[in-house]
């Protein structure tokens, strides 16, 4: 009943681990899959190892957390070894990659696609260095070149992950669709945001600014999914502040075919996936739905 299909890729349920959360090695991703997620998105990685920012890289605030980990990763050569160790049977494995140029992205796609089912392009991290992350996803031109370059070499479906930190997310969404993206995931963290400690009058994060995630950003994510659903024809994956099965239903009604869960793991533990699946299945049975497909985009119906 919980099965869903995103651009031809079958998920046994619509829940997956969001990029950047517990996705640094195969062991933790296997744990998430065992805990009930239908798929995992790795932490974003680049061609070379990168240590990220100095701590503090994360601080909790009302309604979620602000992070500026700074895209730390062990580089593609090391990460490939982790991707190989993920339990692929009946699970969807997605690599999240980042770079600064079309060439870096296409190189990464070429290096990892044999080990994964899909590739997600991180063109949306709000605390990345200049030239990376949201600095790509905030520009239609750059998004277009990077998505095109990635899709040109990709033999697996490509997902572009969008930033909400733009004037009009539907423009970027349409650009990515035109450039060949097979699916879109939205949204990445919101912001940048900042936390200042008032005793010492100092921003807490070493990078000062970070991306906001957690419960507080869910309404923004829902509205972005809703708007983009009306603007494009490719499937959407909803991300942002999902803690419960009710949240998942909202995202699906807004137009998502699957969702990604991250910050909720901090409060609810890894058990959050099984708990949501159970609640979702019960809800679907009560409402008489026999598939996720029947629920996608229902909030768009004219009364």
Partner 1 sequence: MINEPKIVEIKEIIDETPTIKTFKFDWDMETLGKPNPGEFVMIWNFKNEKPMSIAQINDNELAITVKNIGEFTSQLHDLKTGDKIGVRGSYGNGFNNSFEGKNILAIGGGVGMAPIHSIVSDLIKKGNNVDVVAAAVTKDELLYADSLDKLGANIHYCTDDGSFGFKGFATDCTKGLLEDSTYDYAFVCGPEIMMKGIFDILEDANIPAQYSLERYMKCALGVCGQCCVDSEGWRICVEGPVFENDKIYQITEFGKYRRDASGVKF
Residues that bind partner 1 (CB under 8 A): 20-32, 43, 49-52, 54-61, 65, 67, 69, 72-75, 78, 195, 197, 199-200, 202, 204, 206, 262-263, 265-266, 269
Options 7, 125, 151, 176, the catalytic residue:
125
58 touches 69 (CB < 8 A): yes
Q: Which of 171, 143, 169 is nearest to 158 (CA)?
A: 143
Name the maximum alpha-carbon separation found in the chain: 56
Q: Is 36 left (phi over 0), alpha (psi -120 to 50) or beta?
A: left
Q: Is 125 a catalytic site residue?
A: yes
Q: Which CB sits closer to partner 1, 39 or 262?
A: 262
The three-state secondary structure class of 247 is helix
CB of 289 to partner 1, least distance (A): 31
CB of 14 to partner 1, least distance (A): 21
Beta strand 39-41 pairing with 58-61? unpaired
Q: Which CB sits closer to partner 1, 121 or 204?
A: 204
CB of 43 to partner 1, least distance (A): 6
CB of 99 to partner 1, least distance (A): 16
Q: Which CB sits closer to partner 1, 196 or 298?
A: 196
| Residue 82 neighbours by CB distance under 10 Å | 21
**What whole-number distance in Å separates Cα of residue 83 and Cα of residue 96?**
11
**What whole-number distance in Å separates Cα of residue 299 and Cα of residue 274?**
25
**What whole-number distance in Å separates Cα of residue 274 and Cα of residue 281?**
11
138 touches 197 (CB < 8 A): no
CB of 25 to partner 1, least distance (A): 6
Q: Which CB sits closer to partner 1, 78 or 90?
A: 78
Positions annotated as catalytic residues are 125
């Amino acid at each position: 009943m919980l099965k869903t299909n995103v651009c031809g890729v079958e998920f046994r349920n619509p829940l997956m681990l969001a990029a950047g959360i517990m996705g640094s090695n195969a062991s933790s991703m296997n744990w998430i899959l065992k805990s009930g997620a239908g798929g995992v998105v790795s932490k974003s990685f680049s061609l070379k190892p990168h240590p990220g920012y100095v701590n503090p890289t994360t601080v909790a605030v009302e309604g979620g957390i602000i992070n500026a980990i700074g895209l730390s990763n062990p580089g593609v050569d090391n990460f490939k070894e982790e991707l190989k160790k993920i339990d692929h049977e009946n699970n969807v494995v997605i690599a999240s990659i980042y770079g600064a140029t079309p060439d870096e992205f296409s190189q990464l796609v070429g290096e990892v696609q044999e080990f994964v089912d899909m590739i997600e392009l991180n063109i949306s991290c709000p605390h990345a260095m200049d030239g990376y992350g949201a600095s790509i996803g905030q520009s239609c031109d750059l998004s277009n070149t990077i998505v095109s370059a990635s899709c040109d070499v990709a033999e697996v479906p490509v997902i572009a992950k969008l930033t909400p930190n733009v004037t009009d997310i539907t423009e970027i969404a349409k650009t990515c669709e035109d450039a060949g993206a097979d699916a879109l995931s939205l949204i990445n963290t919101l912001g940048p945001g900042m936390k200042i400690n008032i005793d010492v009058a100092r921003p807490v994060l070493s990078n000062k600014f970070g991306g906001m995630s957690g419960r507080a950003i869910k309404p923004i994510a829902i509205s972005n999914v809703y708007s983009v659903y009306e603007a494009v024809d490719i499937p959407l994956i909803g991300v942002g502040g999902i803690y419960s099965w009710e949240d998942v239903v909202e995202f699906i009604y807004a137009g998502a075919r699957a969702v990604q869960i991250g910050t909720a793991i901090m409060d609810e533990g890894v058990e959050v996936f099984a708990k949501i699946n159970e609640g979702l299945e019960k809800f679907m049975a009560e409402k008489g739905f026999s598939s996720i497909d029947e629920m996608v985009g229902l909030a768009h119906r004219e009364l």
